[in-house]
Structure 1
């Protein structure tokens, strides 16, 4: 099982949107996928049309010492080949993780049994900023996929991910894919920012994917609890290009 974090320290870059599209896209390619929503806003769950009314147990139950919860009890079938573990009480999860002495081992312990469920890919949608939950995720996963909004502040903040990994004593080689998102090819500014992004990561071959254009239909799909593969052919073709690079870079 390949373990991937979708992460950016900056909010508003379309991280949950990218998480959902990649998860469903991999599922449509025939891979068995599980997506863990660890963003406090639960956007990945909502973008798949799953609300709190559909939850039985969540990731929080896995870390609640008063509850002996099997991981299977937290899994929701979201689409064919795609399962979801939602979250609740993210602040309490973060506080609990601060009490753990070995943050590098936390998720291996809390997600015990997951490796036995025959998934090909685990994707974790992370919240923005540096949190103890994200520390645990970065220690646990094999690779990072980083969506970056193609605008100056977001692009120039990319270096912070290297600082974050250094503080955790993790290799920057974990960064496997950069996904330029919300790209407006009509503007000179967007084109310049895309070139800057490519130059910034020029030492890593094929790490920057083709950009995902800013499209109203992508937003509409999420609001309706659908993925682009269910709603808009043109957008789905763009994400399939990203998926090709993902499989090429990660396997």
Structure 2
């Protein structure tokens, strides 16, 4: 089972969109996926059309008083794709502050996923937090979506500093995904070249273009694969190929 965090400490870069589309694409090649929505905004649930909040969520899974089983907390949202939502984000953080160790916290919480899923994909909040720290300890790979604007590019130093402070190898950053690329603007083109000067081709993926259809699909609770099969999807498929090669 390969464990992936979709993380950036800057909001608005399309983390949840990448997480949802990556999960949906992987399940379409007959892989079993657990998508864990640990962004405080719960956008994965919205983007996949989950209209009713499940009775049990991630909080129930880690509740030290009455812990629920993983099977009681997941929602089968698509064939081969299960969703683990969250609520009571502040209480999750509070419980983590009680934990003796955070470096193996999620190994214990998600131990029952190990023999069931091929991939666990975690959508993170855009922040430094104790929950994000636990996630970054847990995962095998970190995928960083970024907008092609100078503030996002300069923010990469904060991500690397965060990992160094946690004494987590920065080699966990496996892919950087330029997202919402508008090739018509010189700023986007220049910033893409800047990224290419920072990251080699083994880390930097092809940019994913800004498309109105993707936004429309998310509002409808669908992925672009479901909403508009005429939209060119090569960029997402290219990302999936890169992820599969990670292991």
Does TM, normalized by the shorter one, top 0.5? yes
Q: Give the Å deviation of 1:54.
A: 4.4
CA offset digits 1:100-140 (Å, max 9, x no partner) = 121101111222312132x1100000000101000000000
Q: Give the Å deviation of 1:235.
A: 4.7
Q: Distance in 1 between matches of 2:99 and 2:138?
A: 14
Which TM-score applies when normalising by structure 2?
A: 0.96
Q: Distance in 1 between matches of 2:108 and 2:86?
A: 17
Q: Distance in 1 between matches of 2:157 and 2:215?
A: 28
Q: Distance in 2 between matches of 1:172 and 1:99?
A: 27
CA offset digits 1:169-222 (Å, max 9, x no partner) = 0111101111100100001100010111111113xx421111011111111111
Q: How many residues align?
A: 246
Residue in 2 aligned with 1:85? 84
Any unmatched runs of 5+ in structure 1? Answer: none
- Please show how residues 223-238 of structure 1 align to structure 2 within 5 Å: 223-233=219-229, 234-238=231-235
Determine which of 151, 158, 161 is the counterpart of 1:160.
158
Superposition RMSD in Å: 1.1
Residue in 2 aligned with 1:243? 240
Residue in 2 aligned with 1:212? 208
Residue in 1 aligned with 2:49? 49
Q: Distance in 2 between matches of 1:105 and 1:16?
A: 24
- Going from structure 1 to structure 2, the CA distance change for 1:172 and 1:131 (only over 3 Å counts) comes to same
- Going from structure 1 to structure 2, the CA distance change for 1:235 and 1:146 (only over 3 Å counts) comes to farther
CA offset digits 1:119-162 (Å, max 9, x no partner) = 11000000001010000000000010110011111112112111
- Please show how residues 86-105 of structure 1 align to structure 2 within 5 Å: 86-105=85-104
Residue in 2 aligned with 1:188? 186
The question of 1:175 aligning with 2:170 is answered: no
Q: Distance in 2 between matches of 1:30 and 1:122?
A: 14
Greater Cα offset, 107-116 or 71-80: 107-116
Q: Distance in 2 between matches of 1:59 and 1:229?
A: 27
CA offset digits 1:11-46 (Å, max 9, x no partner) = 010000000000000001111111000001000111
Residues 218 and 235 in structure 1, CA contact (< 8 A), matched pair in contact too = no
SS of the counterpart of 1:56?
coil
Q: Distance in 2 between matches of 1:32 and 1:98?
A: 32
SS of the counterpart of 1:113?
helix
Any unmatched runs of 5+ in structure 2? Answer: none
Q: Distance in 2 between matches of 1:139 and 1:225?
A: 31
